Structure 1
Amino acid sequence: MGRKRVLAVIHTVTYGKRLLDVLSLLEADFRLQVFFTAPPHAFGDDVPAFLARFGAVVLPWDQATRMRFDLALAAGPRGVEYVDAPLITLPHGANYLKRVREGANSGVAGLRRQDLLPGGRLPAAVGVPHHAELRELAHSCPEAVPLAHVLGDPVHDRIIASMPLRAVYRRALGLAEGQKLVVTVSTWGADSCFGRFDALLPRLIGELPAANYRTALLVHPNVWSGHGAYQVRSWLARCAHLGIGVVPPEADWRSILIAADWIIGDHGSVTLYGTLTGSPILLAASPEQEINPSSPAATLAAHAPRLSPTHPLVDQLDYVSREYRDEEYASIRSRITSEPGRFNRNMRRLMYGLMGMGQPAHEPVTVPLPEPVPPAAWAPALGEALA
């Protein structure tokens, strides 16, 4: 039986997680065979282990670039010009939040000309989450506009579909009656929340009574890859010993975000997705120079309260709870996607159209997230990791 061949190009763990949501739309179709490959990338060291965990058929990059595929998917631009297939490019996070200042290469990450035309080659389709991105495309790379498809955002849709399970997720995390969960999230880079952990961690440890508060740390996989798991665990060893949960980079963070009572974050995607949960947000970092000024991250930075270095942390959490008005975040949430609840429908239609195949005769349902892995199975303390 001849099967169509689909290639998933996994540069980093973050990109891989995004593409797994997309690949779920191809499940149970015996007409397809999915392959994976991992191009060289500065933050790609953890990708082989990530792919091995779910038994993927992984092709060496050199082999993948010598083969022909019927469809390829990528959430990053590096090397994809060497892939012989109709290529769909997708963002790897929420919207396009970060501004890059690199001389001639400056612009919005993911929407720059070199991001959209790697090696000078146009893909078959450019997937974007919101109609507003078409204006930026027209400015930065007009050739890509006819190829653009407003698909929506898979993470947005999974979080919304999973919100009714919040109490289930909290039980899975072992939260006792009346306990509050503070989730601290960080993107990567010197100006991220992680870059301020030396000042923030003592406050999480010393100012939140353990009987009433639980804390979880969600650190971007690029931090783990860039510094190495040993170093990150070493930096966070004291937290783990004192009961602060250090979520491993391969874990699904979305159900943990839904379970939160407060989110302490920065200008990254996870903080922005936190606006969907209804939990009050406190910004520990929000560097204006790194934020795309037309993105929802810029609106969030202008609206959400900023963590103060001088006031007690518990008082600040109480303050943001009292002042939080869900309707004031509606405009921020609405900029994540202009196709809410329709990513699966739009993406599946695009993929099967490019392969010249009829879609399966059933609705592509958005499945709620599974329960989070219990904290006892999260990243081990340093000594345990070396045992």
Structure 2
Amino acid sequence: MSEKPDPPPSFRPKVPVDPAYDHWLTYGVEKRILVVTRTVTTVTRLLDILSLLEDDHRVQPVFTFDDRRPAVFSAGLTELLTSLGAAVVPWSQARTAEFDLAVAASENDDLAELRCPVLLVPHGIGHQKYYPRTKTISGLNPARLRGDRLHVGLSHGNQLGHVRGKSAVVIGDPCHDRMLASAHRVPHFRRVLGAADRTHVVLASTWGPQSLIGSNPSLPHRFLAELPLDEYRVSLVLHPGVWSAHSPLQVRAVLASARRGGLTLIPPQRGWQATILSADCLVSDCGSMPLYASAAGVPVVIGSPVADTVVAGSPLADLVARAPRLDESALPDQVAAAIASGPVAGPAAEAVEYPGKCAEILRALLYELLDLPEPSRPAAFPPVDDPVPEYEAPTALRVGVEAAGDDLLVRRFPASVPGAPLPGQHIVAHAELATLAELEGAAVVHRSAGADFAGWAAETARRRPNARLLAETAPGLCRVWTDGVITDLPAAVDPLVLASAAHWRTVRGLPLTDLRVR
């Protein structure tokens, strides 16, 4: 091996390394990229860019963040970098060390302090928002776009007028194109999210008082109270800033009853793109999510006030003006109408130019700035990651049963979320997993099939006198106990649906034969 100069001090390992096995020389590193992070959101956008450099041993990324002036939403940043196993240097070293290129997704750090070319990219879908209480476009503050080595990457050519006098290039949108590259995985994503055979309604909220959740914190509860569990799956995607500002503990706490009611919560940066792709309908606000969803062909409903931070005349302003608005009418009807109408055409195309070409454009730009020959293999983004949903199956259900011709129509909702009275309403609770309050008010108590059903049922009936029917279930079987009589009901549907139908007949003194439910 030919002799090479020692790496700069900022890159030297913290422990001595045998000169015959220098980690920085093993892989033939020629160029070093400084990845300037600020929040969890910026990290994920920058990881999209770094994916274009995978398999190239010539390039070494090193991460940094300005610990002198941390972002408001910086909580969780160091934990994410640690989980990535990334090489991280302090800002003081990043400012003085020699790098070949820096990439950043926020202009709020003093990028002019760096001693290398800088590529600045958006951390949302283009530049659709003003900074709060200003008319300065977020991401394009001219007072912060300083330095003669700064290059600004834009998602669409219609933004060039905002950066006159700066080196700017239209690159498209990496996140948008990664979602395009993942469309074939939607059936898989839906199975992971438990939405394979249900209408998937996704609630997506940015941060701030004018956001979807900021303006209506109880909205997830309303959707769970109105959309039957057997027909719908409701997921919630919150901007990482919400998790950062309030803490994961508080986010989960304020959603406790909704989570017990079957709300699927998507952790920050653990699959929001896949969740949006798998949606049948997105209910959102004036953040980036509606544009990403529209670009993916997902119908959008706006469920918040029109934020005063939306840039006038922007694609986001156009989408918000044209999309249906959530109102107080029945949610199933609104969701069905939005799905039937389809996505709003036009605004997404004005937000992202060159769809499907970003990897090709951006990789060529990166290698030009690095002064390296571009690899011969085609430039392509990897598919987005699988979602990692937080989901709890409800352990107590509020069930309505009514006659529909010769059939019984059964609709089920989580008992942890109050809702309008249902015909034939009763509570179905798991004997061991439901809360004590839910059990004491339950008309149907159930367990998984086990030994001595008769003994268990008799003891449960003694302890739960309000229970009119006791049941144990297994795939294809529902065994019920009523007034000491045990009946096996072959279950062609969910056994607990059959148990609720049996309860409806029991309270009316009707036989438990030829049960037909839907």
TM-score norm. by structure 1 comes to 0.89
Distance in 2 between residues matched to 1:258 and 1:123, nearest whole Å: 37
The equivalences for 1:1-387 within 5 A come to 1=25, 3-39=30-66, 40-77=70-107, 78-100=109-131, 102=133, 106-117=135-146, 121-137=147-163, 142-144=164-166, 147-177=167-197, 179-308=198-327, 310-322=328-340, 324-326=341-343, 329-376=344-391
Deviation at residue 22 of structure 1 after TM alignment: 0.1
Larger radius of gyration: 2
Distance in 1 between residues matched to 2:250 and 2:390, nearest whole Å: 20
- 157-166 vs 362-371, which moves further: 362-371
Distance in 2 between residues matched to 1:207 and 1:376, nearest whole Å: 19
Contact 1:110/1:116 (<8 A) preserved = no
- 127-136 vs 368-377, which moves further: 368-377
Deviation at residue 201 of structure 1 after TM alignment: 2.5
Deviation at residue 7 of structure 1 after TM alignment: 0.7
- 287-296 vs 261-270, which moves further: 287-296
Contact 2:52/2:381 (<8 A) preserved = no
Letter in 2 for 1:359: E
Letter in 1 for 2:65: A
Letter in 1 for 2:99: F
For residues 128-157 of structure 1, the C-alpha deviation after alignment (integer angstroms, 9 at most, x for no partner) is 0101001232xxxx221xx10111111111
TM-score norm. by structure 2 comes to 0.67
> Number of residue pairs matched?
361
Distance in 2 between residues matched to 1:336 and 1:347, nearest whole Å: 17
Distance in 2 between residues matched to 1:115 and 1:97, nearest whole Å: 18
Deviation at residue 204 of structure 1 after TM alignment: 1.6
For residues 328-379 of structure 1, the C-alpha deviation after alignment (integer angstroms, 9 at most, x for no partner) is x3311211211111111111111111111111111112332243235459xx
Paired residue for 1:382? none
Distance in 2 between residues matched to 1:101 and 1:368, nearest whole Å: 34
Contact 2:181/2:382 (<8 A) preserved = yes
For residues 53-74 of structure 1, the C-alpha deviation after alignment (integer angstroms, 9 at most, x for no partner) is 1210111222222212101000
Letter in 2 for 1:34: P
Identical residues among aligned pairs (%)? 35
Distance in 1 between residues matched to 2:264 and 2:200, nearest whole Å: 11
For residues 55-110 of structure 1, the C-alpha deviation after alignment (integer angstroms, 9 at most, x for no partner) is 1011122222221210100000123222222100010010111123545xx32111
SS, match of residue 133 in structure 1? helix
Change (3 A) 1:42 1:111: same
Distance in 1 between residues matched to 2:149 and 2:391, nearest whole Å: 43
Change (3 A) 1:50 1:208: same
Deviation at residue 11 of structure 1 after TM alignment: 0.2
More strand by share: 2
Contact 2:133/2:309 (<8 A) preserved = no
SS, match of residue 108 in structure 1? coil
Contact 2:270/2:385 (<8 A) preserved = no
Give ranges in structure 1 of 5+ residues lacking alignment. 378-387
Letter in 2 for 1:171: R
Distance in 1 between residues matched to 2:307 and 2:241, nearest whole Å: 21
Letter in 1 for 2:113: Y
Letter in 2 for 1:98: K
Paired residue for 2:471? none
Distance in 2 between residues matched to 1:136 and 1:61, nearest whole Å: 29
Contact 1:50/1:250 (<8 A) preserved = no
Deviation at residue 286 of structure 1 after TM alignment: 4.2
More helix by share: 1
Deviation at residue 205 of structure 1 after TM alignment: 2.4
Distance in 1 between residues matched to 2:346 and 2:333, nearest whole Å: 27
For residues 14-48 of structure 1, the C-alpha deviation after alignment (integer angstroms, 9 at most, x for no partner) is 00000000001111111111101122222112111
Contact 1:183/1:216 (<8 A) preserved = yes
Distance in 2 between residues matched to 1:32 and 1:11, nearest whole Å: 22
Paired residue for 2:488? none
Distance in 2 between residues matched to 1:242 and 1:376, nearest whole Å: 9
Change (3 A) 1:193 1:41: same
